[in-house]
Amino acid sequence: MSTHGSTDPRFAERYRALASRDSRFDGQFIAGVHSTGIYCRPSCAAMTPHAKNVSFFRTAAAAHEAGLRACKRCQPDAVPGSPDWNLSDDLASRAMRLITDGVIERDGVQGLAARLGYTSRHLTRVLTSELGAGPLSLARAHRAQSARHLLASTNLSVADVAFAAGFSSIRQFNDTIQAVYESTPSALRALARRGQGSQGGRLTLGSDPGSDPGSDPGFDPRFAAGSTSITLRLPARAPFDGAGLMRFFADHAVAGLEVGDDHSFSRRLRLPTGVADVDMTLDGDAVLCRARLNDVSDVTALVSRVRRLCDLDADSVAIDTALATDPKLRPLVSGLPGLRLPGVVDADEALFRTLVGQQISVAAARTVLGNITRQLGSDGLFPTALRLAENGREVLRGPASRVATIVGAAEAIASGELVLDLGMPSDELVAKLVAMPGIGPWTAGYVAMRVLGNPDIMLSSDLVMQQSAANLGMPSTMRALDAYSARWAPWRTYAGLHLWRARPPVLSKRTGPGAPPQTPTIKG
């Protein structure tokens, strides 16, 4: 779907952004210039084209369908992704979440449609109407963007880049790069690297299979044995509270599963072809991701999941601007710009961790989860739902009702009765969870928030949020806070994160000079 014409209010707003070269809109829409046959990011330094020659598109695929090619000067896909896919819960947005995770490459259009609960024909019709291109074109555009990023930021061979980006053959890869960029892969690699200095990027190199990774002075020996080791710099949309994000992961890290501190976080991930060791480190307004992969074809899924885990595509300027209109919330927002929603890498694991953590402290939950991982997990991974269903009662401790809830959820997932999927609407996910014995609205909302990245969930029954709201002079009962939070839509999730972070520090039991306060962490 495109906008064109000076009478369209969206066109006028976007044209102003293009004329002012406003980088805040990079990745949120694309400017197609029909007189030159190219499409650009809004901040492109080229002369602003006449409005009559411009159309705006939501996706690169739509620009390709209109016969346009990517600008070699501004490299419009070398930016954070669109925040729209989390902001909206419509079919097009849910489809894009799955497309960027590589579902079409693995399961085809029919597999994508099945996960979304529609026919392929209906899905194609909706995507073409809403985004200007069908699922195959959207997947093709995403493969091209992934390939450009890998060519620019790794030393992977051209053949490995092709398969890492999701192409099924070298010929298909070469044809797509030529069609989208009017270039060869080698020429595109050279062009992209030349342009990184002006874009504020930094080249980060992955080691080719068979090369000597130890020659990299920053190399971690832990990543030497894998079939593919790769390092990628994943940019965030500024401002970016990366330190707060890493602190959350560190505070909730489970022994035997994760390790983290104020600047880094490491764990193993299940990816489509196997398990990956992943280490994430802050690098300015970006996350430096070093991974050891079972297969190079897992790169697309890895990038998608790390970006979601770290909420790198969130539009922090829009979020902070909207929340700061509330004078009671404004001091929190101005004091902590760019707050991010910590995501998850495994939906099933997220549910079990949330269920274990109910009604107990973060420290106690970490202990319980560490025991579960040690006794039922394998290969440094959290146990599967099947393993918990079969052996959970032997390991889980605590109230019988909580054990029954966890095991019941595990049995439902293992049998296929309960499916937690990135392509689900938030309301559907919440309804399915609440229908399970022992799972209430708070737990269901929290899981939907973390798993789907939903930006507009308000957990008004949360006692910590109510306490913070009272301290700030806001209504603090569940109903009153829920009504008051309507002014924060569609960013209520981020408002809730601010309220969690604003909880007064709990004084240490140790007294006297030098006794450290115990800084609160986000609940969950």
Q: Which residues are catalytic?
A: 40, 462
Q: Is the Cα dihedral 360, 362, 368, 373 positive or negative?
A: positive
Give ∠ CA 417-418-424 in degrees, rounded to 5.
130
Identify the three-state secondary structure at position 57. Answer: strand
Phi, psi of 38 (to 5 degrees): -125, 165
The candidate with the shortest Cα–Cα distance to 32, out of 10, 3, 73, 6, is: 3
Cα 422 from chain centroid (whole Å): 11
DSSP strand pairing (69-70 vs 38-40): parallel
Task: Enter the tokens of residue 150.
Answer: 């890998």
Structure tokens at 345: 């890498």
The span from the CA of 262 to the CA of 226, in Å, is 27
3-state secondary structure of 397: coil
Q: Which of 322, 485, 358 is nearest to 433 (CA)?
A: 358
Assigned token pair, 364: 């106690």
The answer to whether 238 and 338 have CB atoms below 8 angstroms apart is yes
Instruction: Take residue 18 and report the two structure tokens written for it.
Output: 């293009």
Q: With contact defined as beta carbons under 8 Å apart, do 457 and 448 qualify? A: yes
The rounded distance, in Å, linking the Cα atoms of 459 and 440 is 11
**342 touches 249 (CB < 8 A):** yes
In this structure, are residues 106 and 99 in contact, taking their beta carbons and an 8 Å threshold? no
Could you give the CA distance from residue 472 to residue 449 in angstroms, rounded to a whole number? 24
Reading the block at residue 504, the tokens are: 């007064």
Find the distance separating the first CA and the last CA of the chain, reported in whole Å: 39
